[in-house]
Structure 1
Amino acid sequence: MTRDALKSLEWFDQWISYDVRTIERFIDNLAEPTADPNYRPRFLREVANKHLSTSLRHYSRGDHGDVSQNLWSLLQYWEQSERLGKSVWTPEQQYTRHTWAVNLDHYIDCFWLIGLALALKIPEAQWQRLLALVGNEGEDLLLDRVIATRSPDRKIGTTLCYPKPYARLLAAIDAPKTKQALLLDHFVEHWYKEIGNAAKSARQKQAIPFKTPYWHNYHRLEGGYFGYWCVEAVAAVKAFNLDDSLCVGHPHYPGDLLRPGQVTSPDLSRLLPELAVTIGAPSEKQFSGEPRHLTKWEALKMLVKNKLNA
């Protein structure tokens, strides 16, 4: 049984095997002299990114230990990339590649890696290596606060780099305990659609003129997709001990990262219509005034709302 809602087990088997071969080929290429030494840092970062996407693909398939194994290799190749990049990248390139506020893709990647590190409880030495790579201390109100739950001396930013969608997650963290579960669910529910337009809400002009994260429509590309997982929500749940009961089973919530050994099947009734149509799953019909049976999730959500409004 897979955790992902859009692709089959056979699809993930095929493309994870391809990932393994690709990473092996990348490593072989690194052992050979390069015609363009200036490209080596960028290539090393591509190898690191491949380990991240492969980790998420393993999670999507329903695997367990492979997620953490790829994370260790990712750190190694990212560190090599940074060491070589210091003598290759201009100050402007360093800024645009590393600064959260002007590089949405980098911000999301860092958030995902912090979330994975917290969920997997990586050793302190590796945590410090990750923080050195992530950088941006004091630059974002949300991600700095998440990091500070494990590194209390972390300087906290005063504003959000990307209010949309992350203001919703911040609201869940700061809400009274009785409202956190519902607000967290609202964040996960809106995450995929809103993160597609996150760059438009940025507090600074983006260095790269892309309107959406690089992975946002990967389900349309054969072999590109690795899952649409809101790892940011898991990071907040782990960091602030939030109640995630309303999110469990949502097709974008990777809650099994916090439940080792469990494989939760996705609730297709909660899949966005534009994604559901790609697998033939029925999209939610507009309300016509006729009564209908509630799904288990809808009934639970209604129960929670009633209690909050009581």
Structure 2
Amino acid sequence: MLRDTRRSAAYFDELLPEFDEGIEETQQALDAGDFVLPDEQVDAAHQLYELAILRAVAHYSRGAGRAELAPLVAEILPLRQQLSAVAERLPAGQQVYRQPFEVFGGQGEACGSANINRYIYALWWLGLLIATDADKAHIQQVLASIGNAGRDALLDRIATRLGHPPETPAEELLYPALYRPLLAAFDAEPTTQQTLLGVFLDQWYDQCQEADWYDNHLCDGEFVYTDYYVGYWSVEALLVTQLLGIDDRDFRDHAHYPGDLSQQP
């Protein structure tokens, strides 16, 4: 069942093998030493990590269910761990190069991509893990790989719900214009939580203009992997809904809510 009809089933049927090929070929090139410079190696490792997340979202758009997504989501962690390992090999004088890839907020672009993208992808990753029933040990490793504890109030509240509270939780949001309703849901009454999620979903896409994938449904040609259209799904809304046990029946059919990943009746 095609879930996102902004593009045809044929488009996704052609796209999904390209993601597989892109991941395989980039990994082979990285392993073979084809990326000579240390910063090029970091770029390639970062691309692999993001490709794996985007591939999972594209599979959901094409119609994959939780069981089909689970092995794809499980493959994200080793690629994120690889990024850290490759970044560790940067010469001492170039270690600063890794910060835009790994540190949320207050950082410049990485590979031409705004910093908020790394934050969004981290939330998507966590949302996909919850949706596919990843075990606690795996999630603990994911949170360690994501890092940034104590930097963002929403991420810290999510980590706390997952059983890993930061020593000093952040009180402020790194991206308040977009994520204030989601943070507010953690302290709201049930009916207010539903309202906040609805507000968030209604404004979500318009507030994501810095995202790599914004307006990708209008792309006539794909030149880099972030040009491909994978679907406009607020997986972070699903993440918060599932963690807080919010009744999502009122917004399960929202155009940007991945309701088929909901584990509520």
| TM value normalised by structure 1 | 0.74
TM-superposed deviation, 1:50? 1.0
CA distance in 2, matches of 1:100, 1:189: 25
Mapped contact 1:55–1:71 kept (Cα < 8 A): yes
Looking at structure 2, the residues matched to 7 and 174 of structure 1 have their Cα atoms a distance apart, in angstroms, of: 38
The match for 2:4 is 4
1:120 paired with 2:124, answer no
Instruction: Kindly provide the amino acid, as one letter, of the partner of residue 79 in structure 1.
Output: Q
The alignment-based identity, stated in percent, is 28
- Report the 3-state secondary structure (helix = DSSP H, G, I; strand = E; otherwise coil) of the residue aligned with 1:168: helix
- Structure 1 match to 2:255: 251
1:121–1:23 distance in 2 versus 1, CA, 3 Å: same
Matched with 2:57 is: 56
Q: Find the partner of 2:214 among 213, 216, 230.
A: 216
CA displacement 1:256-295 (0-9 Å, x = unmatched): 12249x9xxxxxxxxxxxxxxxxxxxxxxxxxxxxxxxxx
Aligned to 1:304: none
Match of 1:83 in 2: 85
Match of 2:236 among 228, 232, 236: 232
- How far 1:97 moved relative to its partner? 2.1
Match runs of 1:89-100 below 5 Å: 90-100=94-104
Q: Give ranges in structure 1 of 5+ residues lacking alignment.
A: 197-211, 263-310
Name the residue aligned to 1:202.
none
Corresponding pairs, count: 246
Kept in 2, the 8 Å contact 1:5–1:251? The answer is: no
Instruction: Report the equivalent of 1:132.
Output: 144
Partner Cα separation in structure 1 for residue 35 and residue 53 of structure 2:
27
Residue 153 (structure 1) shift: 3.2
Per-residue CA distance 1:32-80 (angstroms, 9 max, x = gap)? 2325141223212211211111100000011123422122222112211
Q: How far apart, CA to CA, are the structure 2 residues paired with 1:35 and 1:246?
A: 49
CA–CA separation in structure 1 for the residues paired with 2:8 and 2:118: 29
Partner SS for 1:213: coil
Decide which of 162, 174, 180 is 2:175's aligned counterpart. 162
Structure with the greater alpha carbon radius of gyration: 1
Residues 1:178 and 2:191 are matched in the alignment: yes
Mark the CA change 1:152 to 1:22 in structure 2 (over 3 Å): closer, same or farther: closer
Residue matched to 2:34? 34
For residue 212 of structure 2, what is the amino acid of its counterpart? Answer: Y
Which residue type is aligned with residue 67 of structure 1? Answer: L
Query: Which residue of structure 1 aligns with residue 109 of structure 2?
Result: none
Distance in 2, matches of 1:253 and 1:35, equals 38
Distance 2:58 2:212 in 1: 16
Equivalent position of 1:153 in the other structure: 165
Q: Does the aligned pair in 2 maintain the 1:181–1:245 contact within 8 Å?
A: no
What's the TM-score once normalised by structure 2's chain length? Answer: 0.85
How far 1:27 moved relative to its partner? 3.2
Q: What CA RMSD, in Å, does the superposition of the two structures yield over aligned residues?
A: 2.0
Deviating beyond 3 angstroms after TM superposition, the runs of 4 or more aligned structure 1 residues are none
CA–CA separation in structure 2 for the residues paired with 1:5 and 1:159: 37
